[in-house]
Structure 1
Amino acid sequence: MAESDGLITIGVLARASGLTASALRFYDDCGLLVPARVDPLTGYRYYTEVQQERAALIRRLRAIEVPLESISDILSGDVERAERLLDEHVDELQRRARAAADLAAKIKRTLAVGSMDDRVALPAALLAEAFEQVRNAAADNREIPVLAGILLEVRANSLTLTATDRYRLSTRTVVSRDRQGSDWSVVIDAGDLAPIIGWLRRLDEIVAAPTDQGLLLVGEDAERYCPLIDEPFPDCRAVLSGLAPVRTRVLTARLPLLTLLENSSPTVRFEIENAGLTVSDSSNRHHLPATVTGSDIDLFFEVTTLLPAIHTALGPDLMLDIAAADHPVVLRSATDGDLTTLAMPTWHPADR
């Protein structure tokens, strides 16, 4: 059989189509491109000129990784079905490309975290909760910039978060899952935390590390930076260790107290005695059941100071440790003992 008979050899077709001879033999064996004639004596395969176009199409389809079974359908002659199959295949390629890009990004983040000397791994939802609780004690204004921040301190197997606006102080400790490197501390801007808190709640674990760009938080799907405040933070350890001895302790239900404060005038009075706790403002007076140990005492609070501290406490009960009317009151939650909040009483309105 000669090419002059209108047929071409497998070698000619290979050169014309860009496919190898072995590929053409493979497509013959799977029925995708069957030769027009096979010499019974030599086994040589011969193709028609028309089959060059089919061979070229097969090469182009394989170049974009179309499966063999789909190629057969695409080349069947049904144009509408061929177009639909090609669109579906391209959609799948795009999905795989996105998945590969996401996986590559995760690998790069893993490599980046692994190269950091100082880092700590934490339960992400617990860190989000701690941010939410502590940030209410940060200052709303920038009169003293560092007071608008939260101090993060990594020591031993834990991360401690602290915020204060001079009238309130909240500190929370989160136990780490893993820790590498030395002790470190940074002050992050509390005003930028809302979207980060929402992101953390969707994750299982987060790795935190200090960098020149800010506090780096690396999760399973992305990374975030918390801007830093480059100023010395007040020595809150000294404040906590220097608290006067507790003279009065009050244990009361949190929700009724919270409801009262949400509907009170700006300043409220706490009358604490063995019979319980009485909360009053300029127009109302309410008695709340409470367990009181120690001395009777009267306190005045600005609602804007006290209410956020009670909002962030967890559990049904609230404990107040009181040293004196002009000392910070320590608020603790029975179900969340590692959260400590200090709220400063105010002067009696008549004394101003």
Structure 2
Amino acid sequence: MADDGLITIGALARACGLTASALRFYDDCGLLVPVRVDGATGYRYYSEAQVDRGVMIRRLRGIGVPLEAVAEIVDGDGARAERLLDAHVAELAERARAAAVVTRMIKEEIRAGAVLSAAALAAAIEQVRSAAALDREMPILAGVLVESSADSVTVTATDRYRLSTRAMVPVRPSGAAWSVVVDAGELGGIGSWLRGLDEVSVWSADDALILAGGGTERRCGVIDEAYPDYRAMLAGLAPVRTRVVVARDALLAALEDRGAAPIVFLADESGLLLSRDGSACIAATITGPRTELAFSPTTLRPALVSAIGPEIMLDIASADAPVVVRSATDGDLTTLVMPTAIMNSKENDA
């Protein structure tokens, strides 16, 4: 403090919560002028009464009030000061609203969400989800893999005995590739919501798959484990030896009378037989050599129920290799079904 009761610039800076350089700037602007400046040293001295003004300037600048408005507020009458403050707050609110709009657009670009037909996604989830494992012995198999690329969105599930995968062409593709594994249980009730929408945006977050449409949003929890390389499994399938094209409903109806015991198929030139003795024969188009194999109904029925279209195609490599089940008219949905061991005649008759 100076001898005449004035305080130094450092003391005022500490009292106001400002820096000495800020006080020098406000001096140059005429906002906070020192009472005296030492002509020899150039030191600035202030009165203690200027502390309140310095605090007011700091607070106004802290909320972004422009310098010219600060001068009017600290030097003008109270009514004028209030109007200026209200105008500044309104401007801040408008800027915040505009910033929120831009931020939302940027986030959507960062999320790189794909836009899909909501009905197509609902159908794909229902077709594929039943292939996920019901038990939690391997938690990752209780999930549905959702993948987005530049030209498709694919959903896949497998329980080791059956694998279903369906690709969809998006209305608007994703800006970047991503994939998540969603707990299949969380997708169980989402179909009715999706069917109430025209389109749905889909993207991944750190801990969720997010679906948004119609002003609402759904978040599905994810399983943070590596999913089996199903593409390598598909690529490694043995060459097709026999191809069967058959009416889906006719095959399903024939299965209804077979109970839970393994079903023996015999594909030859006469059609598709569901037993060796030919007691149940379904009209089918068979290409390739005669083939005999067996299925568990609990594995085969869901694959047939979820198939697209009135006819299905069975691509058979051998009696102990996965059989590819596809729509004969739409290849977007592909299902692999693992045959079971064929019983001998005595076991079959029993």
Fold in common (TM above 0.5): yes
Please give the alpha-carbon distance, in whole angstroms, between the structure 1 residues aligned to 2:183 and 2:102.
27
After TM superposition, the structure 1 = structure 2 runs for residues 200-279 of structure 1, keeping only pairs within 5 Å, are 200-266=194-260, 267-279=262-274
Aligned to 1:186: 180
Quick check: which one's strand share is greater? 1
Q: Deviations over 1:74-112 (max 9, x none)?
A: xxxxxxxxxxxxxxxxxxxxxxxxxxxxxxxxx899658
Query: Normalization by structure 2: what TM-score?
Result: 0.66
Once the two structures are TM-superposed, the CA of residue 348 in structure 1 deviates from its matched residue by 1.8
SS in 2 for 1:336: coil
Q: Distance in 1 between matches of 2:103 and 2:302?
A: 36
Provide the identity percentage: 51
Structure 1 stretches of 5 or more lacking a match?
Answer: 1-106
Counterpart of 2:149 (choices 141, 155, 160) is 155
**What TM-score comes out, normalization by structure 1 length?**
0.66
Aligned to 2:165: 171
Structure 1, residues 179-224: CA drift from partner, whole Å, max 9, x if none? Answer: 3432111000111212111111111000011112310000113110
Which secondary structure state, in structure 1, belongs to the residue aligned with residue 332 of structure 2? strand
* Match among 105, 122, 125 for residue 131 of structure 1: 125
Q: Which runs of 5+ in 2 are unaligned?
A: 1-100
CA distance, structure 2, for counterparts of residue 198 and residue 276 of structure 1: 39
1:109 to 1:287, Cα distance in 2 relative to 1, 3 A:
farther
- Other structure's SS at 1:277 match: strand
Q: Secondary structure at the match of 1:342?
A: strand
Q: Which amino acid aligns with 1:227?
A: G
**Cα 1:339/1:169, change in 2 over 3 Å:** same
Aligned residue in 1 for 2:88? none
Letter in 2 for 1:270: F
Which one-letter code corresponds to 2:343 in the other structure? P
Match of 2:294 among 275, 283, 300: 300
CA distance in 2, matches of 1:158, 1:219: 19
Aligned equivalent of 1:146, options 119, 140, 150: 140
Cα deviation for residue 247 of structure 1 reads 0.2
Q: What root-mean-square deviation, in Å, do the aligned CA atoms of Structure 1 and Structure 2 show?
A: 2.3
Amino acid at match of 2:263: V
Alpha-carbon deviation of 1:284?
A: 9.2
Deviations 1:279-336, CA, capped at 9 Å, x for gaps: 139x993100111010101111000000000000121111100000000000111232
Distance 1:108 1:144 in 2: 43
Shift of residue 115 of structure 1? 5.4
Q: Residues of 2 paired with 1:272 and 1:109: CA distance?
A: 60
Number of residue equivalences: 245
- Where does 1:1-352 land on structure 2 (aligned, <5 Å)? 114=108, 116-266=110-260, 267-280=262-275, 285-350=279-344
- Pairwise CA distance, 1:340: 0.5
Deviation string, structure 1 residues 122-157 (Cα, Å, up to 9, x no partner): 111000000011111111111100101111111121
Q: What is the letter of the counterpart of residue 135 of structure 2?
A: N
